[in-house]
Structure 1
Amino acid sequence: MTFIYGHRGAKGEAPENTLASFQRCLEHGVNRCELDLHLSRDGELMVIHDPTLKRTTGLRGKVQQHDAAELQRYDARLGGPGWISPCPIPRLETLFEQCPFEHWQLEVKSASRVRAARTVQAIATLAERHGLSERVTVTSSSREVLRALQQHAPHLARGLVAEYAWLDPLKVARHYGCNLLALNWTLCTPERQLKAQKAGLHVSVWTVNDAALMRRLADFGVDSLITDFPGLAVSTLRG
């Protein structure tokens, strides 16, 4: 069976990485999600894709230049599907408290060594506090982040996000002791997928928004696919 993960919640149906988006994902019966994390100035894990505020809030500046309390007041529904009510940037803790997902892919973007270590330690602490350490896989394309996971949170599952084919993703995933390989769908050949699965990796493919592609990847036997449209994925794969 191919699992479905909502990409940034249900990015194609509600403003990405907001509580409304994750609730929409759950309404479809999709109880796995993928999201992005950045640290606020005061060290809180905030759910937002970009390091800057511009694209989703229209405001200037970097996420790391604002405290969590400020960030929670900013409306992040810009550029997404039309939405009537404001959608604040959520803390990860808020989602842990309000969204009963059975598995979380938490993507951490590239960071300096110090920032990667701080982010990883914050995730480990929060996951433990909520009893979710077994339900979390921390993913990244950054060597710095994967190294920090090995050093500071070896008990957490980790995954390599692979977007380009310039390096052998399997080799890199093995080097960092990954459990999961998140492949851009253009990199997911049946050969690479089978090789990864034989090496014990869960193969998660992104971002899959076309029904025919969903069916093809499920027929290939991918372990999971990440989609902006969890409702479409449910009707395509489970209908």
Structure 2
Amino acid sequence: MTKIFAHRGASGHYPENTMIAFEKGIENGADGIELDVQLTKDGHIVVIHDERLDRTTSLKGFVKDTRYDVLKTADAAAGHQQTVGDVRVPLLEDVLSWAEKKDFLINIELKNSVIRYEGMEEKVLETVKRFKIEERTILSAFNHESLALCGRLAPHIERAVLTSDVLYQADQYVKSIPAAGYHPKLHSPAVTDEVLQQMRNSSIKVRPYTVNRPDDMEHLMKMRADGIFTDFPERAAAIAKKLNRTN
């Protein structure tokens, strides 16, 4: 059964990577959430997608150049103020403290392919272990060296290769890291029915991103993709329910 991940939370209707987006994602039928992490100037793990603060917060500049005591004052509503009011950039530990009491999957994307945050892997793994949610956690990254390091540090936590490119012998490449998941960009030659079958034959979990069109959701569910990342988890949940009724 295809798992539905709320991409940056239910980000189609709520400000991405905020607590309200994550909460609504689960309320709207997602099996898990996806979030992005970066490090502040003083080493705090914050949940934010862009390297710069400008697009999603009321501040400007790079996350890496901003201390947490400054960043935590930012409004992260990003155009949703009328519907959600004032929301903040959460710490990873804020999200995991909430998730600890629930039962859903958590995909943590390490945003370290543009800026190489020293020590990010160790910090993230320590936080995941502190909340005892290793078995529900997936670590993904476009920086595959970082994934390999995570594998050496915590081989029991699942890792997934993020890519927007076509990988030669993708199944062998994923296993060489080693990783158990393959997260390719939707609408690229990296996501074909043949690739899905090849990965299934190699016991690699395929979870494409970002799947927002109902037709794509339904096709991937019928092809038994292991998961999808979507900004609209309520759409995916409705389609999954419909398919379950007809099967």
Task: Indicate which of 195, 202, 210 corresponds to 1:192.
Answer: 195
Report matched runs for 1:206-225 at 5 Å: 206-225=209-228
Cα 1:35–1:152, aligned 2, differ >3 Å: closer, same or farther? Answer: same
Deviation of 1:44 (Å): 1.7
1:229 equivalent to 2:242? Answer no
Deviation of 1:29 (Å): 2.8
TM-score in terms of structure 1 length: 0.92
1:156 equivalent to 2:161? Answer no
Q: Tell me the percent identity.
A: 27
Q: CA RMSD in A?
A: 2.0
Cα 1:166–1:80, aligned 2, differ >3 Å: closer, same or farther? Answer: farther
Structure 1 unaligned residues grouped into runs of 5+: none
Residue in structure 1 matched with residue 245 of structure 2 by the alignment: none
| Residue pair 1:53, 1:61 contacting (<8 A) in 2 also | yes
1:69 equivalent to 2:72? Answer no
Misfit runs of 4+, over 6 Å: none
- Aligned letter for 1:8? R
> How far apart are the structure 1 equivalents of 2:46 and 2:115?
19
Cα 1:81–1:58, aligned 2, differ >3 Å: closer, same or farther? Answer: closer
| Residue pair 2:58, 2:74 contacting (<8 A) in 1 also | no
170-179 vs 216-225, greater mean Cα deviation: 170-179
Question: Match of 1:56, SS?
Answer: coil
> How far apart are the structure 2 equivalents of 1:81 and 1:172?
44
TM-score in terms of structure 2 length: 0.89
Cα 1:14–1:101, aligned 2, differ >3 Å: closer, same or farther? Answer: farther
Report matched runs for 1:117-156 at 5 Å: 118-156=119-157
Deviation of 1:66 (Å): 1.9
Deviation of 1:110 (Å): 2.9
Residue in structure 2 matched with residue 102 of structure 1 by the alignment: 104
Cα offsets for 1:123-170 (capped at 9, x unmatched): 111111101111111101113312321333333211100112265433
Report matched runs for 1:42-61 at 5 Å: 42-61=42-61
